[in-house]
Amino acid sequence: MGVIVQKFGGTSVADMERIKNVAQRVIKTYDRGNDVVVILSAMAGVTDGLIELARQASETPDKREMDVLLATGEQTTVALLSMALRSLGYSATSLLGFQVDVLTNKQPMSARIISVGGDRIRDLLTRKHIVVVAGFQGCDSDGNITTLGRGGSDTSAVAVAAAINADACEIYTDVDGIYTADPNICTSARKLSHVSYDEMLEMASLGARVLQIRSVEFAKKYNVPVHVRSSFNEEEGTMVVKENSEMERLVISGVTCDKNQRRITLKKVPDQPGISAKIFSPIADAKILVDMIIQNTRSGGETDLTFTVAKADFDEALSITRQVAGDIGATEVLTAESIAKISVIGVGMKNHSGVAAAMFSALADENINIRLISTSEIRISCMIEEKYAELAVRVLHSAFNLDKETA
Amino acid sequence: MGVIVQKFGGTSVADMERIKNVAQRVIKTYDRGNDVVVILSAMAGVTDGLIELARQASETPDKREMDVLLATGEQTTVALLSMALRSLGYSATSLLGFQVDVLTNKQPMSARIISVGGDRIRDLLTRKHIVVVAGFQGCDSDGNITTLGRGGSDTSAVAVAAAINADACEIYTDVDGIYTADPNICTSARKLSHVSYDEMLEMASLGARVLQIRSVEFAKKYNVPVHVRSSFNEEEGTMVVKENSEMERLVISGVTCDKNQRRITLKKVPDQPGISAKIFSPIADAKILVDMIIQNTRSGGETDLTFTVAKADFDEALSITRQVAGDIGATEVLTAESIAKISVIGVGMKNHSGVAAAMFSALADENINIRLISTSEIRISCMIEEKYAELAVRVLHSAFNLDKETA
């Protein structure tokens, strides 16, 4: 018995039959004596339909008004689920973002949650209501409706769980947990019973399909235990929790692959103080995120400078770089189309030396060249030719003893 | 130049093309130097679609949740119109019921407006924004979303106009004004240039198709001039205004016909004090509105008592009456299926005797029997056999010199 937050995504509420299934699932939890808060997304496809409608109204729809429009999606599902629950004899009340005081910053279509008011939810729970909260939406300090961007309902769920000090935040989705690698690439990938917040954050390319990364940041900040599990079966999924000594002692928890990056190289950049700022300031000004940066010193006071950006930002970043290259006297701008970033991630590597060596040697054994390397405390990433991406994932998965047989 | 409120109904915003037409209409008014507040309904058919969706969720959908669901309809249109206006280079901002502080009582699905906060609208008008407000919806003092019932957007428009002290409230609809009779019944009916609030209230059966009656009560209370006009042409419609000496001096402004009533008669009711209360209290308790009541004294301390109710309430009213009839010793309960209420309405009749006599004699000339009569200061109504309804309207329209030729 406790306070449980359950979040169901768009595919789980895609039609009335599925909404009724969600009602049954919620009731089962409630009937065990729990207080239940449900967070819903819009029906699958509805958000895309609304975006299409907006494009008919305007080629570049105003973002504030887009948020007003998009917020109708979750408003619809929370009303329908509450009706379904009530028709089954349960007290249920829907609440929209502004009614829960989900206060966000003023960035329409990708707002960040500042705070969530728990009073109204707690009051309804005290009266044994099932509370059904519209995910994805909030309200800024001027009283405008805002939305949180794709996957924002995950963040809504975690933020509500934090606000009411819930015992668990269950994220129901169409996969049944977090895997050691993408099972589509690596058939021997296995489901993790636990993963730490930090690992989950580093597993962006695995996790983003399952959890909005911002929700993990929120969970970490407020120490909310998140249970990622399937909405189609009753199996335990993966617990995303604070790192602790009880956790499974794997050196590496996962191998990820990110093909969404492209590389840009500036040849023969003068090696002067402030030159990096000249290159990266205009890129940052264009709100383009640079992922990896490597500088190779050449003879004669010149260096080659290589960095990567997301594919979507590539054209803009390239045009800015060419401009800057002329200004600073770099001789050439090179690009590489087909690269992939392979990462091994694990809190265990903090206490184990030799992870990098093991990684490089496993790749070398397959004659896979490493073009760039970057690291964090719990992650090592290598940029390699894209065509070797799947092979590299399988090789590393095996090299770090993650294959099913060894678990 | 002034502050203009323009309300567009569901058929005027039924698709994107029509929404763009509304944008053009609004811009025309704005470009003349006016401050413009637009009130919108949901797209035609959308509300019915949402009700159908709710019925799939529950056979008897919870009313509070129904309001949450229905409110998405106007939320969609206000966002789309604001986008369309912005894409044409105009500053436009949508506001929902709760954002305008449309405070209502706690009666879901047929809430009444208590007050409207004008501050946010005035602030936006000062900054030369076109303000696009969701009609039909409000918020109760507990912060729940409420809706105002069919036609509620009219009341939203008048209430907003009152709150910001607008110079005019224009109701754009699919008819071009208020007529002296239903043009479908009476081809010689003509459009009134002006009609008083009181006349409009009495013209319920004519007016309800054009204006929600509650909006007229609101307009009268706050003295808001309402202009009912067509959204499909530029013609002047009908001004609904305070009665004054400048107005067209017609004895009768309109003839109406209401076929939505049924009659119930209790025979031989004991003529005792308190007997009426015994009959009508349980009917009132069931929230059934009794329209006309006539008591005919018989010999021997008994009376016959006849009253009328709306068709929708007939079955329930009949069952209550049969119950009461047994309790008080009335001998029989009779019903009449096919009746119609024909009314002549006009502020002019206050100063003209003989209106009733003229009405009765015109009907008598056509051998139309009058079953019941009721009156107000500016209305005389006769209950007649339904089959004579259209004939009666035409006869009276002509008898009171309302036909086009005589205007």
Domains of chain A are: 3-174 (3.40.1160.10)
What are the beta bridge partners of residue A19?
none
B312 touches chain A (CB under 8 A): no
Q: What is the ipTM of this complex?
A: 0.84
Min Cα–Cα distance to chain B from A13, Å = 12
Cβ-Cβ contacts under 8 Å, B81 against chain A: 57
Question: Given A19, A54, A81, which is nearest B83 (Cβ)?
Answer: A54
Residue B248 pLDDT: 59
Would you place residue B206 in the very low, low, confident or very high pLDDT band (cuts 50, 70, 90)? Answer: low
Contacts of A67 (CB under 8 A, 6+ apart): A108, A109, A111, A137, A144, A145, A146, A147
A109 touches chain B (CB under 8 A): no
Q: Look at residues B101, B208, B75 and name the one whose alpha carbon lies nearest to residue B160.
A: B101
pLDDT at B299 over 60: yes
Closest residue, chain B, to A99 (C-alpha): B143
For residue B290, the surrounding DSSP H or E stretch is strand B290-297
Min Cα–Cα distance to chain A from B98, Å = 9
Cβ <8 Å between B82 and A76: no
Average pLDDT of span B45-49: 93
% chain B with pLDDT above 70: 97
Torsion angles phi and psi, residue A351, rounded to 5: -105, 5
Residue B326 pLDDT: 86
Question: Given B66, B72, B84, which is nearest A72 (Cβ)?
Answer: B72
Three-state DSSP class for residue A219: helix
Q: Look at residues A21, A28, A29 and name the one whose alpha carbon lies nearest to residue A2.
A: A29
Question: Given B16, B87, B94, which is nearest A68 (Cβ)?
Answer: B94
| Tokens (6 digits) for A353 | 């030396």
Cβ-Cβ contacts under 8 Å, B61 against chain A: 83, 87
Cβ-Cβ contacts under 8 Å, B59 against chain A: 87
Asked which of A39-48, B13-22, B135-144, B305-314 is least confident by mean pLDDT, the reply is B305-314
Residue A260 pLDDT: 84
Q: Are B42 and B136 in contact (CB under 8 A)?
A: yes
B219 touches chain A (CB under 8 A): no
Cβ <8 Å between B68 and A62: no
Residue B405 pLDDT: 57
Strands A372-376 and A339-345: unpaired
Rounded to whole angstroms, the Cα distance separating A134 from A7 reads 10
Closest residue, chain B, to A100 (C-alpha): B143
Residue A407 pLDDT: 43
A69 touches chain B (CB under 8 A): yes
**Where are the strands (E) in A234-378, listed by range?**
238-241, 254-258, 261-270, 290-297, 302-310, 332-336, 339-345, 372-376
What are the beta bridge partners of residue A376?
A379
pLDDT tens digits, residue range B385-399? 999 999 999 999 999
**Greatest CA span in chain A, whole angstroms?**
80
∠ Cα A115 A121 A124 (to 5°): 165
Question: Given A57, A58, A80, which is nearest B53 (Cβ)?
Answer: A80
Q: Look at residues A212, A259, A220 and name the one whose alpha carbon lies nearest to residue A347.
A: A220
Cβ-Cβ contacts under 8 Å, B53 against chain A: 16, 76, 80
Rounded to whole angstroms, the Cα distance separating B218 from A310 reads 58
Q: Look at residues A75, A155, A47 and name the one whose alpha carbon lies nearest to residue B98.
A: A75
Residue A315 pLDDT: 92
Cβ-Cβ contacts under 8 Å, B90 against chain A: none
Cβ-Cβ contacts under 8 Å, A93 against chain B: 64
Residues 145 through 164 of chain B touching chain A, CB cutoff 8 Å: 145
Cβ <8 Å between B82 and A62: yes
| Best residue of B60, B62, B98, B141 to probe chain A, by most A CBs closer than 10 Å | B62
Q: Is the dihedral of CA A282, A284, A289, A291 positive or negative?
A: positive
Q: Look at residues B255, B242, B170 and name the one whose alpha carbon lies nearest to residue B205.
A: B255
Residues 176 through 215 of chain A touching chain B, CB cutoff 8 Å: none
Cβ <8 Å between B87 and A53: no
Structure-model confidence comparison of residues B183 and B158, the more confident one:
B158
Rounded to whole angstroms, the Cα distance separating A102 from B192 reads 51
Residue type, B102: V
Cβ <8 Å between A75 and B80: no
Q: Are A214 and A111 in contact (CB under 8 A)?
A: no
% chain B with pLDDT above 90: 69
Q: How many other CB atoms are found less than 10 A from the CB of residue B333?
A: 16
B76 touches chain A (CB under 8 A): yes
Rounded to whole angstroms, the Cα distance separating A12 from A173 reads 7
What length does chain A have? 407
Question: Given A16, A71, A79, which is nearest B65 (Cβ)?
Answer: A79
A321 touches chain B (CB under 8 A): no
A89 touches chain B (CB under 8 A): no
Cβ <8 Å between B99 and A143: yes
Cβ <8 Å between A79 and B68: yes
Cβ <8 Å between B72 and A75: yes
Q: How many CB contacts within 8 angstroms connect chain A with chain B?
A: 113
Min Cα–Cα distance to chain A from B94, Å = 7
Cβ-Cβ contacts under 8 Å, B124 against chain A: none
Closest residue, chain A, to B86 (C-alpha): A62
Cβ <8 Å between B69 and A79: yes
Residue type, B250: L
Cβ <8 Å between A120 and B143: yes
- A33-53: burial string, b at 16+ Cβ within 10 Å, e else: ebbbbbbbbbbbebbeebeeb
pLDDT mean across residues, chain B: 91
| C-alpha dist (Å) from residue B137 to A348, B54, B55, B69 | 56, 18, 21, 11
Question: Given B19, B59, B81, which is nearest A87 (Cβ)?
Answer: B59
What length does chain B have? 407
Torsion angles phi and psi, residue A110, rounded to 5: -150, 50
Three-state DSSP class for residue A299: coil
Q: What is the pLDDT along chain A (407 residues), one digit of tens a residue?
A: 799 999 999 999 999 999 999 999 999 999 999 999 999 999 999 999 999 999 999 999 999 999 999 999 999 999 999 999 999 999 999 999 999 999 999 999 999 999 999 999 999 999 999 999 999 999 999 999 999 998 899 999 999 999 999 999 999 988 889 999 998 899 999 999 999 999 999 987 666 578 888 899 999 999 999 999 998 888 999 999 998 755 556 789 999 998 888 999 998 888 887 888 888 999 998 888 888 888 877 777 788 888 999 888 999 999 999 999 988 888 889 998 788 999 999 988 877 778 999 999 999 999 999 988 888 889 999 999 999 999 999 999 999 999 875 44
Closest residue, chain B, to A56 (C-alpha): B16
B223 touches chain A (CB under 8 A): no
DSSP H helical segments within A208-295, as ranges? 213-222, 275-285
DSSP H helical segments within A231-388, as ranges? 275-285, 314-328, 355-365
Contacts of B394 (CB under 8 A, 6+ apart): B181, B185, B186, B188
Contacts of A115 (CB under 8 A, 6+ apart): A101, A103, A163
Cβ <8 Å between A76 and B69: yes
B99 touches chain A (CB under 8 A): yes
A122 touches chain B (CB under 8 A): no
Cβ <8 Å between A58 and B98: no
Residue B407 pLDDT: 43
Q: Look at residues B194, B173, B190, B193 and name the one whose alpha carbon lies nearest to residue B181.
A: B190
* DSSP designation for A188: T
State the Cα torsion A74-A79-A80-A84 to the nearest 10°. Answer: 140
Residue A249 pLDDT: 67
